[in-house]
Structure 1
Amino acid sequence: MKFKNIIIFIVFISINLSAHTLLVDVINNKNNTITIKAQFDTKQKASEAMLRLESLISGQILYKKRLPYESQLTIDIPKEQYQIVLDAGEEQIVKEGIAPIEGFNKFGSKEVLEKLSKNKQDHDELGNTLIIFLFIGFILIILTIYFSAKNTNKILKELKNK
């Protein structure tokens, strides 16, 4: 019975390891401003998360500020291609920036956007792989403890019988 409870506990813990996902909405206000709203999938606000707008052409940080308590900011759209980076510590989201009404002054290459997208996919796959290996490791540890205890009890019974 204890073994069953341990397995249930491990499954519960492994499910909760990935249950805290950051959600970001970028809204075009149609007046050369965007509103960025962030929260976790648990409805918890992402206040104090670091918001950056990074140029895709020069790599410079165009805007940097922590989200206020309301977890949303309205900011002017940069005149050059950019990406939106929201860093909440344990999780980071990268989104493509919205163009201003008159369009961007400078155009970056699509290769930059594709490379950023590929890096994000690689990061997500690594996180999922890590969770799977941790789960398998926990199961193997529990099985080792279970069989070790079982064999120890068997040996102790044999010694008592002699």
Structure 2
Amino acid sequence: MSEKIGIGFILSLALIFCALSCAFAHSLILGVYGNDDGTITVEGRYDTGATAQGAQVRLEALNTGTVLFKQRLGLESELTVKIPEEPYRIVLDGGPGHVAVKAGIAPKNGFSVQSNPPEQKAKNADRHGTPGLSRAYLVTLGLVFCFLFLTLFICRQNTNKIIKTIQGHSLKR
């Protein structure tokens, strides 16, 4: 009897540790900083503090969706780029589920090419927008709840077995 309770307890602990390891999922963070020399500095990192070395940086025109610039982040996870003359967005692509998008910073004198009407701009922004909750966070949350319910189910079964055993012993006396 105590072996079954011990196995259930060990299984519950193992499931909790698995859930906790999933809780350390990460999200990509895009930092964009305007410089006084007509350039921007793009920085990529994960919310765990790890660098986003190798993630692809793209500057995309809002008017046409054309890729104006494309390069991967180096060892320092940052890149300095000349500001385009037309409205653009910055896309940091770290792989599936790790995409961050920000609006581009305008040059000092403004853009020389005008952008699309507001409804078209909103439509383009939605195409590459990131969801409010990352996929990794939702999966982790789902796994945690599954493990929690599984643990409660196992504990309930073991508790019922203990109660039956206690009742059986009290009837024999």
TM value normalised by structure 2: 0.71
Shift in alpha-carbon separation, 1:108–1:37, aligned structure 2, 3 A: same
- Between 58-67 and 6-15, report the one with greater CA deviation: 6-15
Shift in alpha-carbon separation, 1:145–1:109, aligned structure 2, 3 A: farther
Equivalent residues in 2 for 1:46-85 (5 A)? 46-85=52-91
- Residue ranges of structure 2 left out of the alignment (5+ in a row): 1-5, 169-173
Deviation for aligned residue 1:146: 5.2
- Residue ranges of structure 1 left out of the alignment (5+ in a row): none
* Deviation digits for residues 2-34 of structure 1 (CA, Å, limit 9, x no counterpart): 2662464245234213xx232222111122211
Distance in 1 (alpha carbons) for counterparts of 2:69 and 2:128:
22
Asked whether the equivalents of residues 31 and 101 of structure 1 are also in contact (C-alpha less than 8 Å), the reply is no
Aligned length: 155
Aligned equivalent of 2:27, options 21, 27, 47: 21
Are 2:17 and 1:12 aligned? no
Shift in alpha-carbon separation, 1:125–1:113, aligned structure 2, 3 A: farther
Aligned equivalent of 1:96, options 89, 103, 122: 103
Report the equivalent of 1:107: 115
Distance in 2 (alpha carbons) for counterparts of 1:118 and 1:56:
11
Report the equivalent of 1:44: 50
- Between 29-38 and 108-117, report the one with greater CA deviation: 108-117
Over the residues paired in the alignment, what is the CA RMSD in angstroms?
3.3
- Between 101-110 and 79-88, report the one with greater CA deviation: 101-110
Shift in alpha-carbon separation, 1:42–1:72, aligned structure 2, 3 A: same
TM value normalised by structure 1: 0.75
Asked whether the equivalents of residues 52 and 94 of structure 2 are also in contact (C-alpha less than 8 Å), the reply is yes
Report the equivalent of 2:144: 135
* Deviation digits for residues 61-105 of structure 1 (CA, Å, limit 9, x no counterpart): 111110111111111111111100001124110000001122112
Larger of the two Rg values belongs to structure = 2
Structure with bigger RCO (C-alpha 8 Å, 6+ apart): 2
Deviation for aligned residue 1:111: 2.9
Deviation for aligned residue 1:113: 4.5
Identity among equivalent pairs (%): 33
Distance in 1 (alpha carbons) for counterparts of 2:105 and 2:76:
22
